[in-house]
Amino acid sequence: MDTLGGAAFAPETTYLNTASCGLLPLRAVEAVRTLAEENATGRRGVGAGSFESVGAARASFARLAGVPAERVAVGSAVSVHVGLIAASMEAGAEVLAPEGEFSSVVTPFSVRGDLKLRYAPLDGLADAVRPGTALVAFSAVQSADGRIADLAAVRAAAAAHGARTLVDASQAAGWLPFDAGAYDYTVTGGFKFLVSPRGTSFLTVTEEAQESLVPLHAGWVAGEDLGGSTYGPVGQLAHSARRFDTPVSFLSYHGAEQSLALLEEIGVEAIHAYSTALAARFREGLTGLGLAPVPGDSAVVGVPGLAHRHPDLRRAGVDVSARAGNLRAAFHLYNSTADVDRALDVLADQGASAT
């Protein structure tokens, strides 16, 4: 079956679960395998991987996100990036977030114990920004049901009240055209729509916001001179956002170098048009079955109250997920109309849910 990703991927199931974890391109798998074999045999010599591959992944992500590479820090997990931001806030500061926001976005603030967390409905988030709000932290696309935040409205409201913005783009980057430079901070896990291995994540920081962050995780990889920063306190931290880097898994980033390059070759605009068309076909089919998917133009489709059909789909070889009572399907460049129709056929079989 023809897909936008062509022969770059090799799915063996009807895989509609990118919102949980993306499939790796074959060339990323080969890059990881090659490095693993080199590490097993000693052929690579000194070091377990290449900082050039890390730099290439950083540069690719920067281009996909629309920011200079100097404003991108790399790491292993979104919660680590958010934790850095949370640790740098003044005691008593107010953080506003959507109700039901993904835990990695809000928990680093809640565990501090001396910050004020306030929640509002996603569709009322912009209206909930008020004088004294220090930071608005939210996902561009909600994990639980695929809703897309009103990014422009929240950004405008935050600017009007002098609040900073933190956007988690983990469910958006790779299919939704997104300008990371419009926000003070963005955090992105690479293992979903960026189709990179787990253990890859990216933090973007405006030049102004960089001045307020304390590089608490700084080690030798955060030094301006890597070779001269291995012993004693780092004498000079990197002048760019690289000073917020944390040590990374070379295996993950060798794969990410290939994955992100592929996304650049295809283009986010093309992926957006393709994946949202598949999602629209799925929504239309669900409506025809008398079901009520969450409306919108997201590549992630949530169907409230249908989580109980998850086992039926899994038995039929259709990989989706169940989140917060929703059945959740996600569409990406390796999916096809046949995948959509297969999922709809299973859901149309009402007898399956009774077995």
**Angle between helices 250-266 and 51-65 in degrees, nearest 10:** 40
**Cα–Cα distance for residue pair 46/308, rounded to 1 Å:** 52
Query: Which secondary-structure segment (H or E) carries 15?
Result: strand 14-15
- HSE-CB of 266 using CA atoms within 13 angstroms: 25
Q: At 351, is the pLDDT very low, low, confident or very high (cuts 50, 70, 90)?
A: low
- Residue carrying structure tokens 């009240």: 161
**Cα–Cα distance for residue pair 89/112, rounded to 1 Å:** 10
Whether the per-residue pLDDT at 188 is higher than 80: the answer is yes
Q: Mean pLDDT, to the nearest integer, of 3-25?
A: 98
**Cα–Cα distance for residue pair 117/201, rounded to 1 Å:** 25
Q: At 44, is the pLDDT very low, low, confident or very high (cuts 50, 70, 90)?
A: confident
Q: Mean pLDDT, to the nearest integer, of 286-308?
A: 98
Residues in contact with 211: Cβ distance below 8 Å, sequence separation at least 6, in sequence order: none
Query: What's the pLDDT score for residue 32?
Result: 97
Residues in contact with 128: Cβ distance below 8 Å, sequence separation at least 6, in sequence order: 96, 118, 120
Q: Mean pLDDT, to the nearest integer, of 313-330?
A: 98
Query: What's the pLDDT score for residue 43?
Result: 84
Which CATH topology does 28-265 take?
Aspartate Aminotransferase; domain 2 (3.40.640)
Q: At 48, is the pLDDT very low, low, confident or very high (cuts 50, 70, 90)?
A: confident
DSSP assigned state of 148: B
Asked whether the beta carbons of 272 and 177 are under 8 A apart, the reply is yes
- 6-25+267-354 is classed CATH 3.30.360.10: no
| CATH 3.90.1150.10 boundaries in the chain | 6-25+267-354
Q: Mean pLDDT, to the nearest integer, of 234-242?
A: 97
Q: Look over the chain and give the mean of its residue pLDDT values, rounded to a whole number.
A: 96
Hey, what amino acid is at 64? L
Query: What's the pLDDT score for residue 265?
Result: 98
Q: Mean pLDDT, to the nearest integer, of 89-101?
A: 98
CA nearest 166: which of 87, 99, 82? Answer: 82
CA nearest 72: which of 254, 265, 245? Answer: 245
Q: At 1, is the pLDDT very low, low, confident or very high (cuts 50, 70, 90)?
A: low
**Cα–Cα distance for residue pair 248/220, rounded to 1 Å:** 12
| CATH 3.40.640.10 boundaries in the chain | 28-265
Helices and strands: H and E segment counts in the chain: 11, 12
- Residue carrying structure tokens 């281009």: 63
